[in-house]
Structure 1
Amino acid sequence: MAGAAGEVLIVTGMSGAGRTTAANALEDMGWYVVDNLPPQMLRPLLEISEAAAGALPKVAAVVDVRGRDLFGALPAVTQALRGGRPLRVLFLDASDDVLVRRFESVRRPHPLQDDGTLLDGIHRERERLSAIREGADVILDTSSLNIHQLATRVTDLFREEGDARHTLTVMSFGFKYGLPTDVDLVADMRFLPNPFWIPELKAHTGEEPQVRDYVLSQQGALEFIDTYARALRPVLEGYQRENKQHSVVAVGCTGGKHRSVVTALELARRLSSVPGVAVRVKHRDLGRE
């Protein structure tokens, strides 16, 4: 169920059912998300996005009972907008007991609770949302979902066909310049002979074929790269299941010029075949003296 270019998505539903988590997941996929928007502001928002000449191709608006009396206009506004750009309504729901537990865990009142109980507020909201729920394009019950599972479901529903679910950066670096701080996993290639000490290779880098051939010909090099790539495949698949959007695998050698560069490129080539993963390579210290 992929989102089309120029699509508009209205995110609504029960308070406590996961609207914020859904909005964050959409934003991570490149949607322009506006939270707590009065329904009357939907048309001006779309006019602004159309005037942006493609800068805002996909717009999501979170509309809910926090808008109080303004919220009642949502069904009529939605119906009026359906004749223009592609528009869908995502309705998030959950059982009463789950919603009560969620509100109690954060110690916040329900927006329609007033002087009553949490259940009073939930029942008022259900009544007010009944017509909107009936007209929704997608109804998602989040009762049994944690925030990571909900984000994954939203990603599955609204990502473009072929979009990567996870972006992996394979980074080469030099230990003498310090460990990178923003990485998930680190590999050390200093167990291989250093091309720095080979006069005809010293001035070249791991991006060049003569250095690549030398490094990969060393005992244990290909075995390590192949084994490490196989070990990373289930990790990347698990990251997707847990809706982890980005990860960095760092590969180090002494100066970040030869062995780590070759290994990073070889790992990236092997891991680019993992479904749902977009792989990019970054050489942090290449070019430093």
Structure 2
Amino acid sequence: MTSDAPSENPSARQRILLVTGLSGAGKTTTLQVLEDLGWETIDNFPVRLLGGMVGGKAVQPAPLAIGFDSRTRGFVPDEIITLCSQLAAQSDVELETLFLDCASGEIERRYNETRRPHPMARERPVLEGIKAERELLDPLRSWADNVIDSSDFASNQLQQVVREQFADTAAREMTVTVSSFGFSRGMPPLADLLFDMRFLDNPHWIAELREQTGLDDAVGAHIRRDPAFAPSFDRIADLIRTLIPHYAAQGRSYLNIAFGCTGGRHRSVYSAERAAQVLREAGFSPTVIHRNLGTRPADPLERR
């Protein structure tokens, strides 16, 4: 005789992540990242209908992320908490909540930049709408399993935090990104390892090399002729090979290695390409990004 009771096997449980938070704190970005990670995503779903689409015998093959906020129809925080607590008690459901928070001043800045109206401001100043929404959502923030404060995050930084927290790391190897950049155009915000290559002779000041980049053979040959390059880069390569297993052992999903020079077109580009080759030889498949490769050479920026 077979039983109709839901399986107690944890692998058969339907994983659901409820994503909510303050308007402008990054819910849309978060759902996009989750979708890239293989989640099924629904935004602005009426939460009162949640009980009819989860649980039961037909477990979803992919985890499900559901976004909702103060704009969602039937949004009553206390009722949502009660309903979701009941669902979380089901043996065939694994339910988590993620609350996206952000400082009021930063949300105000974002709304002023986009010139979009805050959903709870109406005819009032933006800050009053933010305050009213924060008070409304306070029970959800206190109840949430996970809280991410995006106050100090650019969009790409929030994306990385979400990836690190919700990617299925058990079946994934660490993703390594190697990038080049120009110090004169700003520091990269997410570099785990950063190498300053401005000690090398600058090809910008060689007329025939100025319009070329570190991807061109002539620029690479010029950099290799610098007596400082080979011994320094060999040490950098050894350091990278040494550190990567330690980062992986800590459960890291992403590692960002950055090489900088003044303008981000010559020395850093060549060094990043060489480092990517070192990583390929070590069995990795690095992503290579040259942030400032497309910018035009400019003498005032090339002070070193």
Fold shared, TM-score > 0.5 on shorter chain: yes
Which residue among 59, 66, 77 is the counterpart of 2:71? 66
Summarize deviations over 1:21-80 as a string: whole Å, max 9, x none.
1111111111111111111122233259x62x5533x11100111115434432122111
Q: Does 1:270 align with 2:277?
A: no
The equivalent position to 1:15 in structure 2, one of 4, 10, 23, is 23
Query: Which of 88, 107, 111 is the aligned partner of 1:99?
Result: 107
Q: Establish whether residue 77 from structure 1 lines up as the match of residue 83 from structure 2.
A: yes
1:79-228 equivalence runs, <5 A? 79-84=85-90, 85-162=93-170, 163-164=172-173, 166=175
Cα offsets for 1:232-273 (capped at 9, x unmatched): x79x99x9457xxxxxxxxxxxxxxxxxxxxxxx9856333x
| CA distance in 2 between partners of 1:83 and 1:152 (Å) | 31
Counterpart secondary structure, 1:10? strand
Question: In the TM superposition, what whole-angstrom CA distance separates every residue of 1:124-147 from its partner, at most 9, and x where no partner exists?
Answer: 111110111110111111100111
Q: Distance in 2 between matches of 1:164 and 1:62?
A: 28
> Is contact 2:176–2:255 with CA below 8 Å preserved after alignment?
no
Pair 158,89 (structure 1): closer, same or farther in 2 beyond 3 Å:
same
Output the aligned Cα RMSD: 3.9
Report % sequence identity: 29
TM-score, normalising length from structure 1?
Answer: 0.56
Report the alpha carbon displacement of residue 107 of structure 1 after superposing the two structures with TM: 0.5
1:41 paired with 2:46, answer no
CA gap of 1:54–1:38, structure 2 versus 1, over 3 A, is: closer
Give the whole-Å Cα distance in 1 for the aligned partners of 2:131 and 2:75. Answer: 19
Partner Cα distance (2:69, 2:105) in 1:
20
2:164–2:254 Cα contact (<8 Å) kept: no
Structure 1 residue matching 2:53: 3-state secondary structure: helix
List gaps (5 residues or longer) in structure 2.
1-10, 178-213, 218-233, 248-252, 257-277, 288-304
CA distance in 1 between partners of 2:60 and 2:150 (Å)? 33
- The residue type equivalent to 1:43 in the other structure is G
TM superposition shift of 1:20? 0.9
CA distance in 1, matches of 2:174, 2:61: 22
In structure 2, what is the Cα distance between the partners aligned to 1:140 and 1:10? 13
- Which amino acid in 2 is paired with 1:45? M
Hey, what does 1:175 align to over in structure 2? none
Give unmatched runs, 5+ long, in structure 1: 169-184, 189-226, 243-265, 279-289
Rounded to whole Å, the distance in 2 between the matches of 1:10 and 1:165 is 26
User: 8 Å contact 2:48–2:74 — kept in the other structure?
Assistant: no
SS in 1 for 2:161: helix
Q: How many angstroms does 1:15 deviate by?
A: 0.3
Residue 62 of structure 1 aligns with an amino acid whose one-letter code is G
Q: Greater relative contact order: 1 or 2 (C-alpha under 8 angstroms, separation 6 or more)?
A: 1
The normalised TM-score by structure 2 is 0.53
